[in-house]
Amino acid sequence: MTNSGNKHTLSAFDEEMDKIRSLISEMGSRAESAVEGAMKALLTNDMKLAKKIRHEDKIIDKLEKEVERIIVQTIALRAPMADDLRELIAAIKISAVIERIGDYSKNIAKRVGHLKTEDFLSDNNALQRMGEIAGEMVSTAMESYAKRDIDLAIAVTRRDDDVDQLYKELFVDFVGFIAKHPEAAQEVAHLLFISKNLERIGDHSTTCAGMIYFTETGENLPDD
Amino acid sequence: MAEQNSQSDTSDDGTDAHKITARNVNVFYDDKQAIDDVSIDVDMENVTAFIGPSGCGKSTFLRTINRMNDTIPSARVEGEIKLDGKDIYDPSMDVVQLRARVGMVFQKPNPFPKSIYDNIAYGPNIHGLAANKAELDIIVERSLQRAGLWNEVKDRLSDSGTALSGGQQQRLCIARAIAVDPEVILMDEPCSALDPIATAKIEELIHELRGKYAIIIVTHNMQQAARVSQRTAFFHLGNLVEFGVTSDIFTNPQKTRTQDYITGRYG
Ligand SMILES: Nc1ncnc2c1ncn2[C@@H]1O[C@H](COP(=O)(O)OP(=O)(O)O)[C@@H](O)[C@H]1O
Ligand SMILES: [Mg+2]
């Protein structure tokens, strides 16, 4: 049963819910640009941008703590039920997941400057492609959150398979590359971690989509 | 979700014999309809909560189950209510007997202005449940035990029931209902005059009585319904809007009206 759209008799309750939603949206849009920025910094070897992403992670962490504080307070004071309860439980999980996406973006950004195999990078469409899909998954998940749109949530989960598949392919490529160019092992290991981070970002976006689906329907996303 | 509901409905008891079955019940006060085509099943294993806004018909419907509406001249009941498969509105039904089988506890504790002992002994006496004083003593003690009041009153059984605290009075009324060995206990907002501690004691008592009696509790406190019941029925304007497993009703109700009410979005 989705929200009827009617307001709570207690308007302060609505205000708290609105505050939580807007904080999560802010976290989401920051995480979205962190993923994008981290990949851009990587591909253009932009140290300044990389530093900005690392700073962004700190802001996202702070926002998560703030969201958590308001949610705990709302649960304690309002004793929420039904869709309100589901939304708050989902909000705790979604904010935690966005915080992780921020971490992974930071982790990618940290590796900027350690990579000299730019040829390899710019040739490597799969990694770029993976970064694009992961970024789109985050943004679609957040759009789904804002619009309470379960079709968009389902769309996010569909893309997770693409990311997983790319990760598997990349893994084979990287290992093969190391075998041929053992001198590049360290750098390629960085790339391997980056692809793993992107794969995890895809997973977290999927978790986020699942929680949106749960909020709206009271049920878990069907596994296809 | 619907699947889960029906699963837990049967898995709890493994039978589908209900203690109470109500079918297409309508209640009128003169021309005014207070209950509109309500059908519901109540079983022994689960505490059933009736929730809904004031005036939606919870008390009216509750009173149909022990024919208390018979005492209201303007009230007229239509439809069928069966207790153990027997129509309680059948002319052959002994109403006094019925009200012993289906006990009731009211919002305001209403002990008789008599001793604690006599409050409990009254019912068993008129129903001839005790052959002598010794048997009566046993019934009194057991009832007070079950109502969680024995330890508090055992040394002052001859004190007046009305001298007890509100919460104790309510437990005395529950003990009084229990004393005649009922099968069903109806409680109409039994805690609304009580403080939180006395309320918690009644809730704990309901928990202990679960399974021994079919229990229906009307409450305007949704948290209370969530705490004490396993089945919840939501009434609105005389209609039974939704009836299901309590945890489902409070986490994922199927009707917008239910959700708006339990989340505080009602009117
Ligand atoms: N004795 C009565 N005579 C006439 N109308 C009544 C009587 N008792 C209740 N009603 C009406 O029936 C409706 C349902 O009342 P009630 O069963 O007391 O609701 P609830 O217990 O849910 O608050 C209300 O509109 C109420 O005014
Ligand atoms: Mg009432």
Mind giving me the DSSP string for A135-162? HHHHHHHHHHHHHT-HHHHHHHHHHHHH
Residue A209 lies in a domain: yes
Question: At a CB cut-off of 8 Å and minimum separation 6, what does A85 contact?
Answer: A75, B250, B251
Task: Count helices and strands (H / E) in chain A.
Answer: 7, 0
Chain B contact for A13 (CB, 8 A cutoff):
yes
Task: Return the domain boundaries, chain B.
Answer: 20-262
Q: For helices A82-110 and A11-44, what crossing angle results, to 10°?
A: 20
Residue A222 lies in a domain: no
Provide the pLDDT for residue A61.
97
- Residue of A14, A1, A20 lying closest to A146 (CA atoms): A20
What global pTM score does this model have?
0.85
Q: Is B60 in the pocket of ligand 1 (CB under 6 A)?
A: yes
Q: Is B135 in the pocket of ligand 1 (CB under 6 A)?
A: no
pLDDT digits 0-9 by tens, A123-163? 667 888 999 999 999 999 999 999 999 999 999 999 999 99
Looking at residues B179-196, what average pLDDT do you find? 94
Q: Which ligand is nearest to the CA of B51?
A: 1
Torsion of CA B125, B129, B130, B131, to 10 degrees: 110
pLDDT band at B56 (very low <50, low <70, confident <90, very high): very high
Taking the CA of residue B226 and the nearest CA in chain A, the distance in Å comes to 10
Structure tokens at B66: 């022990």
Q: Is B83 in the pocket of ligand 1 (CB under 6 A)?
A: no
Q: Is residue B9 pLDDT above 50, yes or no? A: no
Q: Is residue B192 pLDDT above 60, yes or no? A: yes
B238 within 8 A of B221, measured Cβ to Cβ: no
Provide the pLDDT for residue A5.
81
Which atom of ligand 1 is found nearest the CA of B74?
3
Q: Is B186 in the pocket of ligand 1 (CB under 6 A)?
A: no
Residue A23 lies in a domain: yes
Least confident of A1-15, A108-122, B251-265: A108-122
Give the number of domains in chain A: 1
CATH (domain of A156): 1.20.58.220
Residue A58: domain span: 2-217
Q: Is residue A95 pLDDT above 60, yes or no? A: yes
Q: ipTM score of the complex?
A: 0.76
Angle at A110 (CA atoms; ends A105, A114), nearest 5 degrees: 135
Percentage of chain B with pLDDT > 70? Answer: 93
Q: Is residue B12 pLDDT above 80, yes or no? A: no
Could B266 and A9 be called an inter-chain contact, meaning their C-beta atoms sit closer than 8 Å? yes
Task: Check residue B189 and give left, alpha or beta (phi > 0: left; psi -120 to 50: alpha).
Answer: left
Angle at B234 (CA atoms; ends B232, B240), nearest 5 degrees: 115
Provide the 3-class DSSP secondary structure of residue B82: strand
Architecture of domain B20-262: 3-Layer(aba) Sandwich (3.40)
Mutation to probe ligand 1, out of B26, B27, B29 (largest number of atoms < 8 A from CB): B29
In this structure, which amino acid lies at residue A37?
G
How far is CA B200 from its chain centroid? 17
Provide the 3-class DSSP secondary structure of residue B192: coil
Chain B contact for A76 (CB, 8 A cutoff):
no
Nearest CA owner, ligand 1 atom 12: B34
Could A219 and B1 be called an inter-chain contact, meaning their C-beta atoms sit closer than 8 Å? yes
In chain A, the residue whose alpha carbon lies closest to the alpha carbon of B2 is A219
Residue A223 lies in a domain: no
The whole-chain average pLDDT of chain B stands at: 92
